Amino acid sequence: MENALVSSQKSSDSGLQAVLHPLVLLTISDYITRHTLREQTCPIAGALLGQQNGREITIEHAFECATKVDDNGNAVLDAAWFAQRLDQMRTIHKSPQLDLVGWYTLLPKAGPTPAILPIHNWILSEHNESSLLLAFHPEEAVDQSVGSRLPLTIYESNYEVDEPKGDQGEDKEMRDGDAPLKLKFRELPYSVETGEAEMISMDFVARGAGNATLVKPTEPSKPKGKVLQEVDNKGKRRLVDPEKKEDTTKASDEHMLSREDEELIASLTAKANAVKMLQSRIKLLITYLERLPPSHLSGADAPASADLAGDSHTIPSHTILRSIQALVNRLALLVPSASGAFQQEMLSEANDVHLMSLLNEVMQSAIGIRDIGKKHGAVESAKKESRRAPRMDVESLTMGGAAGDLSI
């Protein structure tokens, strides 16, 4: 069945081409993953930022958008929130200057559906009259083969004359005026381009995927027979005990880490360093905000002499303040919707960690008690042996004297 919103014209007619960056794919996949794990019911929608150079449109960055339901029951974007967020992103991405080039959502492979028309028409009328639509196909993302295409399709907006199929013959009905135009979507060809900064992110993702695989270490082959002699570096042969040699090799192998342990330690170290860096950056932002002049902290019109009175105040930077404001506004999308379930899960994980530490302490105490028991048993056995030795000597002396008397 043909989709009425998909254009029958070829993409080569317009000559437009899209250039997609991998950072956009990482952002979209992260948003879809968080949306699925939180079991949210609102539609997935986000904005695409890039540049348009002639007939080439680059898609370089993306951010998720807040949606709401209008009076007609259609899902639309929050206009005030979207305008504020878009201004912040334009301020951040000044070099090079990026602007809104389209938006993305989840769609089936068949193409756009009427449910997305309110959002798309609003973007066309308010922000970009040639906005693109990036449709992500989740059913293709689950079943992917090596070397296949990306599970997405990029469409451009195109207004075409909607003629009935019965009017395609020679005898057409004469109509007064121009035929009405209808919005349709035409698939665009795209290519993937990677920058130097994006290659670092892609390399990190590739390394993470490689560390997730489990590779079992190969067990060393045991000798079938006993080796009674070996040759040293000088060519001399000497007898060895194979059991003792095996014990020494086992003792040395205990201190060697496997490949999985080394990767786990490296991953935990990287995460610990990232947390420390994040904490230091947050402290730096807090210190910067605390040392602003009083007029910027209170919001009231304070005299300039009050700001210059203290030498400890920092010079306000509107670019930095806008970046901090953009970061704070984005936190609302990162906070889980079900805060109670999130706190319960965090408490459960904390209890598991404490339980493991208590079990470790109990095991260490049991090992210490076992060692004390062994030492106590050795001491008691030594005392018993020392007590038996004098009795045996006395009995031998008495028995020897009695036998001598009888012989006389």
Looking at residue 199, what is its pLDDT? Answer: 75
Looking at residue 301, what is its pLDDT? Answer: 53
Q: How far apart are CA 215 and CA 241, in angstroms?
A: 34
Residue 38 phi, psi dihedral angles, 5° rounding? -80, -5
DSSP 371-404: HHHHHHHHHHHHHHHHHHHHHHHHHHHHHHHHHH
Closest CA to 79 of 33, 47, 49: 47
Q: What are the tens digits of pLDDT across the range 190-232?
A: 998 887 777 777 766 666 554 544 444 445 555 444 444 544 5
Q: Give the residues across from 224 on adjacent strands.
A: none
Question: Over the Cα atoms of the chain, what is R_g?
Answer: 38
Stated pTM of the model? 0.52
Q: 360 is written with which tokens? A: 């470790």
Q: What are the tens digits of pLDDT across the range 355-390?
A: 999 999 999 999 999 999 999 999 999 888 888 766
Considering the chain, what percentage of its residues have pLDDT values greater than 70? 70
HSE (side-chain half, CA atoms, 13 Å) at 348: 6
Q: What are the tens digits of pLDDT across the range 31-62?
A: 998 888 888 888 899 999 999 888 889 999 99
pLDDT class of 404 with cuts at 50, 70, 90: very low
β 75-77/67-69 pair status = antiparallel
Q: Taking a C-beta distance cutoff of 8 angstroms, is the pair 93, 61 a contact? A: yes
| Residue 342 in this model has a pLDDT that exceeds 50 | yes
Q: How far apart are CA 331 and CA 327, in angstroms?
A: 7
Q: Taking a C-beta distance cutoff of 8 angstroms, is the pair 60, 102 a contact? A: no
99-113, 161-175, 251-265: segment of lowest average pLDDT: 161-175
CA distances from 342 to 38, 336, 345, 346 (A): 9, 7, 5, 6
Q: How far apart are CA 64 and CA 141, in angstroms?
A: 19
Looking at residue 219, what is its pLDDT? Answer: 52
Q: How many CB atoms lie within 10 A of CB 27?
A: 18
Would you mind telling me the total number of residues written for the chain in this entry? 408
CATH of the domain spanning 11-163+181-195: 3.40.140.10
Cis peptide before 22 (omega within 30 of 0): no
Q: How far apart are CA 268 and CA 274, in angstroms?
A: 10
Looking at residue 45, what is its pLDDT? Answer: 93
Where does 154-233 have alpha helices with state H?
196-211
DSSP 304-368: HHHHHH-TTPPPP-HHHHHHHHHHHHHHHHHS-S-HHHHHHHHHHHHHHHHHHHHHHHHHHHHHH
